[in-house]
Amino acid sequence: MYGKGLRALSIATVAAMALALSLVFFYAPLDAEQGFLQKIFYLHVPLAIVALCGFVLGALLAIAHLRTRDPRWDMRSYVAIHMSLIFGVGALITGSIWAKGSWGHWWVWSEPTLVSFLIVFLLYATYQPLRFAIEDPERQARYASVFAITAGAFVPLNFMAVRLASAYVHPRVLGSTSNLPGPMALTFLVSLAAMALLYATLCKFELTAKHTRAQLRALRRRLLGEIPDAQARRTRSAAPTLQPGATVGTQAASRTAL
């Protein structure tokens, strides 16, 4: 079900990533102040944007689950949030490397963009422990959906914190205040599209793998249930049958006489 179109999506992702890397290293000019270090911007910022959008997507899928009670929507919400956490880790690591090279510190607690993103990431880091602490599948899906929707409401605050901050050192990328030259802006947009395709491909891969494992478990349970039934039928067919009005002893004696 989920594997349909996966090959084409994977090819498009590889092509987009190759194009983005080519633009980053061979087309985008070097930054006048940061030099080659600035090129990590084309990885860090798309990772952060896609991760935040993935959190919002998980909340929307959770709403669909609560409305329909269809477990497939819950699985999609779980995969979207799980993949966003992975992208969030990548954004935090690349951001720390960039901060160390640019500001001389691995982390700046006075920067609202960094702190707000970290708060959102830590909030969603509690999603999986909360989810798997509940054994009942229906309650687990319901509570996880409520958590995803509630946490999803906090994600726009990360964007608003940057826009409303009066003092900041983190660069603004999107909007009228962006001062990216044309080649840098084009490279950034291609990198963002490539990262979004990578996110979609990895989510589709994970959904396909989970669906396949569920089918295998169902088939295994079915086979294990059929084996005892087959053994019972063979046992019943091998047991001697008594003729009407005869006993086991009389039948055995008649066979001996013959």
Interatomic CA distance for residues 67 and 142, integer angstroms? 11
SS3 state of residue 35: strand
pLDDT tens string 5-58:
778 888 999 999 999 999 989 888 887 777 788 888 899 999 999 999 999 999
- Strand, helix or coil for residue 175: coil
> Helix, strand, or coil here: 176?
coil
Percent of the chain at pLDDT > 90 equals 30
Rounded CA-CA distance 254/178 in Å is 103
CA end-to-end span of the chain:
64
Does residue 258 belong to any structural domain of this protein? no
Number of independent structural domains in the chain: 1
Distance separating alpha carbons of residues 4 and 207, to the nearest angstrom: 11
Does residue 156 lie within any of the structural domains?
A: yes
- The domain in which residue 141 lies consists of 6-170+178-206
Give a yes or no: residue 245 inside a domain: no
pTM of the model as a whole: 0.77
**pLDDT beyond 80 at 188:** yes
The CATH number of whichever domain residue 45 belongs to comes to 1.20.120
Has residue 105 been placed in a domain? yes
14 lies in some domain: yes
* Structure-token pair, residue 178: 């962006």
| Residue 137 pLDDT class (50, 70, 90 cuts) | confident
Q: State the Cα–Cα distance between residues 208 and 38, nearest whole angstrom.
A: 37
Indicate whether 234 belongs to any domain. no
